[in-house]
């Protein structure tokens, strides 16, 4: 891809060409100007993998653990490597711009995209994001921190007005972006869908000026997909690129706005210049325009994914040293998440993986296993695609596209694909030689039950659909459709039909689907992504009481028991928030009953954000395993059997119940607004201020060994606070400890949190080994708060406490330092 002279090209562009450059060409690409040698560049989601240019039937990709899992590593070097890895995956997918990392703040456990962000703490989020961005940039790929700013819920996400004080905005919600930009100077940033204090961010000069004027950031500012709401206001405020294309707000409308002086020519030139600079920077990657997509999936990549997933796992409890398990003894594997590879949450973060490993598969590789289902965890019936067969016996189904519905004779076959993924979101699918969003699809495959029994089949659509078994209509989702959460909130609720099936008999499954325009309802989602979608699920019906009894019986017969439970992309996904913190139905009953039968049972949870654990006091061994990416099952097994000594720490507080969360009264949109009433008291800041203990504290995480902290010294200069101490492995295994440094203002002039994380470092030590750990913290960032009276940061004169420990609760060393003079400052 050729280099360009930005100013020379800018001088030669026509008004129409300038307008075209400020909007996407299609869903993933910018516009090109061939006559001036300006190529199109490609974007791709992020943040935990690089999907490529298609949500539907995309190129397989590597899936890293979700962002909360990455946050749990507390490891800047590892996040740097994650960035480099994603940069290499971006090159394989021909993507010049990676749409990540996500660095919004988890105000509440209910946020549908909470799993996409690193932490409730802005310092941890921003520090990790900076290293992630640096790693991506070392591969000459452009990272895109998102979503700037306060995109912290899914409910009415395009319309909600986030009402937040200037102090909380600066100290909590902008801080991750501030730190990432200071550290890495990423060349792109994505704006949020929502309003902040009355104005959509994409057209808020107040918010964008913080980036451009306060922080002196120079880069490409793009909208979230369909997150542009105006022509003149957005251009004048500083939004460079409307995504995706084709444009809704620019093009001819933008040309008219310029000729009528609603937008001054030099302002448009600023927007175009930013796009051209991004194109010029992208040329360094060596990725050709419209490059072919391919996979990597190298052996070293698989090892890396396994390592990252293992280092993210948090050992919450281990009373009596139940863990690690003995490989030479049989393990009873129980629970809804055991045989399902729960690799990520749903929405923009999801992708088609190269492969995936379930916990059952991981444990089976390392020990003899007996299994009992116990309960299901799905919200919608499990995807059926891999359980269907094509005519040649391979896994999958036929996907045939027509111009007219099945009842019309002589309809034209437009395309024929063979797929394995029965979640078919066709938002970016282009039917060959066909331009209408209205078309019809026949899905057909063979289903062979493994057991006799009643089977449920489910159909979710954004459009209309009917499901047949051996030409018998089983499910109709055409009339009187109910609103659901699939397809970014645009799909129906799942409609289910049931049928008795015989083990080993082959049944023909057929679905007749019409795309979005066929839907009878006039209701449309706030963002209508493409032509609609189709989801086919199914499984044998489970008798919950009997399934639990079977699991309890097995647990009583075996010494070693592991229960795998949690959430999945049905429950945590872009487009909708969680209704509560609960595990899926029957899961709490299953866990409680198994613990009664075998108190030493190990509970392993997978979720991106906290879940309620009414049985936690009874559990002696408890593991938080997040959504672990391709290698989730192997990594979990590595920790359970002690191949890997767990070292993860919670990047967010786990409340005892939802009502204890600081955002409980103010989460979700109420008549178009969300009041950030907890102010700066997010997460552990809230629990400590109110002296209300969470179930598990921020920064908590156990190990199979023990560590001691000693010999703390603290010194200061005009710019830094230097911390030194000794960390010793006092246990019987090699392992890693995360040294966490918190700062506390002793006599502040306003209310401040009890303490705030301002430094951390992960240290790997052999048995008996010690290390001298040194950290230099920026003095301004470690001590300042936002002075709303001066509209500036203030580093206030006085004494400060410095507290060092291995969680926000357990502090092992304390020191003090003094700020001799009050200083106000701005910028970075």
pLDDT digits (tens, 9 = 90+) for 798-817: 999 999 999 999 999 999 99
In this predicted structure, the answer to whether residue 138 has a pLDDT above a threshold of 80 is: yes
pLDDT band, residue 525 (cuts 50/70/90): low
Q: Answer whether residue 524 shows pLDDT above 70.
A: no
**Residue-wise pLDDT tens digits, 538-585:** 999 999 999 999 999 999 999 999 999 999 999 999 999 999 999 999
For helices 122-138 and 76-92, the axis angle rounded to 10 degrees is 40
pLDDT digit string (tens) for 151-172? 999 999 999 999 999 999 999 9
Over range 588-596, report the average pLDDT: 98
* H/E segment holding residue 660: none
> Hey, which residues are catalytic here?
224
DSSP class of residue 576 equals B
Distance CA 339, CA 378 (A): 12
Q: How many CB atoms lie within 10 A of CB 288?
A: 10
CB of 95 closer than 8 Å to CB of 80: no
**Percent of the chain's residues with pLDDT above 90:** 96
Comparison of pLDDT for 456 and 57, the residue scoring more: 456
Predicted pLDDT at 414? 97
Per the CB < 8 A criterion, the answer to whether 33 and 10 are in contact is: no
Identify the H or E element spanning 270: helix 265-282
CB of 576 closer than 8 Å to CB of 154:
yes
Tell me what pLDDT residue 729 has: 98
Write out the two tokens for 618.
């009874």
Q: How many helices (H) and strands (E) does the chain have?
A: 19, 36
Tokens encoding 449: 């039950």
DSSP for 514-537, please give it. E-GGG-------SS--TT-EEEEE
pLDDT tens across 297-315, in order? Answer: 999 999 999 999 999 999 9
Query: Which sequence spans correspond to the domains of the chain?
Result: 379-540, 707-825
Cβ-Cβ contacts under 8 Å for 22 (sequence gap 6 or more): 235, 240, 241, 242, 250, 254, 268, 271, 272, 275
Average pLDDT over residues 621-635: 98
pLDDT at position 345 is 95
Report pLDDT for 47.
87
Q: What is the 3-state secondary structure (H, E, C) of 42-88?
A: EEEECCCCCCCCCCCCCCCECCCCCHHHHHHCCCHHHHHHHHHHHHH
CA distances from 761 to 8, 172, 323, 473, 658 (A): 47, 21, 25, 60, 31
Task: State the architecture of 379-540 in CATH terms.
Answer: Sandwich (2.60)
What pLDDT score was predicted for residue 670? 96
- Interacting residues of 663 by C-beta distance below 8 A, sequence separation 6+: 107, 108, 676, 677, 678, 682
Taking only the tens place, the pLDDT of each residue in 98-117 is 999 999 999 999 999 999 99
Among the ranges given (401-410, 521-530, 646-655), the one the predictor scored with the smallest mean pLDDT: 521-530
- Would you say 201 and 207 are in contact if contact means Cβ atoms under 8 Å apart? yes
Distance of CA 339 to the CA centre of its chain: 22
CB atoms within 10 A of CB 690: 12
700-743 pLDDT tens trace? 999 999 999 999 999 999 999 999 999 999 999 999 999 999 99
| pLDDT > 80? residue 379 | yes
Write the CB contacts of 621 (distance below 8 Å, at least 6 apart in sequence): 317, 318, 319, 322, 323, 600, 601, 602, 603
pLDDT tier for residue 521 given thresholds of 50, 70 and 90: low
Beta-strand relationship, 220-222 and 188-190:
parallel
pLDDT bin (cut points 50, 70, 90) of residue 822 is very high
Report d(CA 275, CA 188) in Å as an integer.
Answer: 10
- Residue 386 has what DSSP assignment? G
pLDDT at 522 over 90: no
- pLDDT recorded at residue 428: 85
In this model, does residue 526 exceed pLDDT 80? no
The answer for residues whose C-beta is within 8 angstroms of residue 35's C-beta and 6 or more apart is none
* Confidence class for position 619, pLDDT limits 50, 70, 90: very high
pLDDT of 630 higher than 80: yes
pLDDT in tens, 576-588: 999 999 999 999 9
pLDDT of 339 reads 96
Question: What are the C-alpha distances in Å from 70 to residues 103, 550, 650?
Answer: 12, 36, 10
Cα-based distances in Å from 712 to 53, 479, 725, 744:
51, 69, 4, 16
HSE at residue 128, side-chain half, CA atoms within 13 A, is 31
Q: For the chain, how long is the longest CA-to-CA vector?
A: 86
Mean pLDDT of 231-253: 97
User: Is the distance from CB of 783 to CB of 745 less than 8 angstroms?
Assistant: yes
551: tokens are: 């699991």
Q: What is the pLDDT of residues 340-361, one digit of tens each?
A: 999 999 998 999 999 999 999 9
Task: Provide the 8-state DSSP code for 488.
Answer: H
**Which helix (H) or strand (E) element contains residue 819?**
strand 811-819
pLDDT the model gives residue 523: 58
CATH pick for 707-825 out of 2.60.40.10, 3.40.50.300, 3.30.2020.30, 3.40.190.10: 2.60.40.10
Q: What is the rounded distance in angstroms from the CA atom of residue 739 to the CA atom of residue 718?
A: 24
Mean pLDDT of the chain: 96
């Amino acid at each position: 891809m050729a280099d360009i002279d930005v100013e020379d090209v800018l001088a030669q562009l026509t008004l129409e060409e300038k307008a075209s450059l400020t909007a996407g060409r299609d869903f993933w690409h910018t516009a090109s100007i061939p006559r001036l040698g300006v190529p199109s560049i490609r974007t791709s989601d992020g943040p935990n993998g690089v999907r490529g240019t298609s949500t539907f039937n995309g190129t397989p990709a590597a899936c890293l653990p979700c962002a909360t899992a990455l946050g749990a590593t507390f490891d800047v070097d590892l996040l740097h490597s994650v960035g480099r890895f994603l940069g290499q995956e971006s090159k394989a997918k021909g993507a010049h711009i990676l749409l990540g990392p996500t660095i919004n703040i988890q105000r509440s456990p209910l946020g549908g995209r909470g799993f996409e962000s690193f932490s409730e703490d802005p310092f941890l989020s921003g520090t990790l994001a900076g290293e992630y961005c640096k790693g991506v940039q070392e591969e000459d790929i452009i990272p895109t921190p998102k979503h700037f700013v306060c995109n912290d819920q899914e409910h009415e996400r395009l319309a909600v007005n986030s009402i937040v004080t200037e102090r909380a905005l600066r100290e909590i919600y902008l801080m991750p972006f501030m730190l990432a930009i200071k550290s890495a100077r990423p060349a792109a940033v994505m704006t949020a869908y929502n309003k902040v204090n009355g104005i959509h961010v994409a057209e808020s000069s107040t918010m964008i000026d913080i980036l451009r004027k306060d922080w002196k950031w120079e880069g490409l500012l793009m909208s979230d997909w369909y997150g542009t709401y105006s022509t003149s206001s957005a251009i004048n405020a500083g939004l460079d690129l409307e995504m995706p294309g084709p444009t809704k707000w620019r093009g001819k409308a933008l040309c008219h706005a310029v000729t009528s002086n609603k937008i001054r020519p030099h302002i448009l030139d600023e927007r175009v210049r930013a796009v051209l600079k991004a194109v010029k920077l992208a040329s360094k990657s060596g990725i050709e325009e419209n490059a072919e997509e391919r996979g990597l999936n190298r052996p070293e990549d698989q090892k890396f994914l396994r390592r990252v997933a293992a280092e993210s796992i948090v050992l919450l409890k281990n009373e009596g040293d139940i863990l690690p398990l003995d490989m030479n003894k049989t393990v009873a594997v129980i629970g809804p998440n055991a045989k399902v590879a729960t690799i990520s949450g749903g929405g923009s973060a999801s992708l088609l993986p190269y492969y995936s490993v379930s916990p059952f598969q991981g444990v089976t590789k390392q020990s003899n296993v007996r299994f009992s289902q116990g309960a299901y965890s799905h919200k919608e019936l499990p995807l059926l695609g891999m359980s269907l067969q094509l005519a040649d016996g391979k896994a999958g189904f036929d996907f045939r596209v027509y111009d007219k519905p099945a009842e019309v004779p002589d309809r034209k076959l437009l395309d024929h694909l063979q797929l394995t993924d029965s979640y078919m979101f066709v938002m970016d699918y282009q039917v060959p030689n066909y331009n209408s969003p209205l078309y019809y699809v026949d899905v057909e495959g063979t289903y062979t039950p493994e057991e006799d029994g009643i089977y449920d089949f489910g159909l979710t659509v954004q459009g209309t659909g009917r499901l047949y078994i051996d030409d018998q209509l089983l499910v109709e989702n055409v009339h009187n459709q109910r609103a659901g959460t699939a397809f970014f909130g645009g799909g129906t609720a799942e409609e289910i039909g049931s049928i008795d099936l015989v083990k080993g008999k082959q049944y023909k499954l057929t679905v007749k689907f019409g795309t979005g325009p066929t839907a009878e309802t006039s209701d449309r989602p706030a963002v209508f992504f493409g032509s609609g979608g189709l989801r086919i699920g199914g499984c044998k019906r489970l008798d919950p009481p009997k399934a639990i009894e079977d699991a309890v019986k097995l647990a009583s017969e075996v010494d070693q028991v592991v229960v795998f439970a949690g959430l999945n992309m049905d429950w945590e996904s872009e487009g909708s928030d969680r209704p509560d913190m609960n595990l899926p139905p029957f899961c709490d009953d299953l866990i409680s009953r198994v613990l009664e039968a075998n108190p030493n049972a190990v509970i392993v949870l997978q979720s991106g954000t906290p879940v309620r654990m009414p049985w936690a006091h009874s559990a002696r061994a408890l593991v938080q395993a997040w959504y672990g990416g391709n290698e989730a099952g192997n990594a979990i097994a590595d920790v359970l059997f002690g191949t890997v000594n767990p070292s993860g720490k919670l990047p967010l507080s786990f409340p005892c119940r939802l009502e204890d969360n600081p955002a409980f009264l103010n989460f979700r949109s109420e008549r178009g607004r969300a009041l950030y009433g907890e102010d700066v008291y997010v997460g552990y800041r809230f629990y400590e201020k109110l002296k209300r203990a969470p179930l598990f504290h921020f920064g908590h995480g156990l190990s199979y060994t023990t560590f001691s902290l000693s010999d703390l010294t603290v010194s200061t200069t005009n710019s830094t606070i230097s911390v030194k101490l000794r960390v010793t492995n006092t246990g019987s295994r090699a392992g890693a400890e995360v040294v966490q440094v918190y700062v506390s203002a002793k006599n502040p002039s306003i209310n401040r949190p009890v303490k705030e994380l301002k430094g951390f470092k992960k240290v790997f030590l052999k048995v008996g080994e010690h290390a001298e750990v040194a950290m230099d913290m920026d003095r301004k960032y470690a001590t300042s708060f936002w002075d709303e009276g001066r509209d500036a940061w203030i580093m206030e004169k006085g004494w400060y406490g410095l507290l060092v420990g291995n969680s926000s609760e357990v502090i092992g060393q304390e020191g003090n330092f003094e700020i001799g003079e009050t200083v106000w400052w701005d910028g970075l």
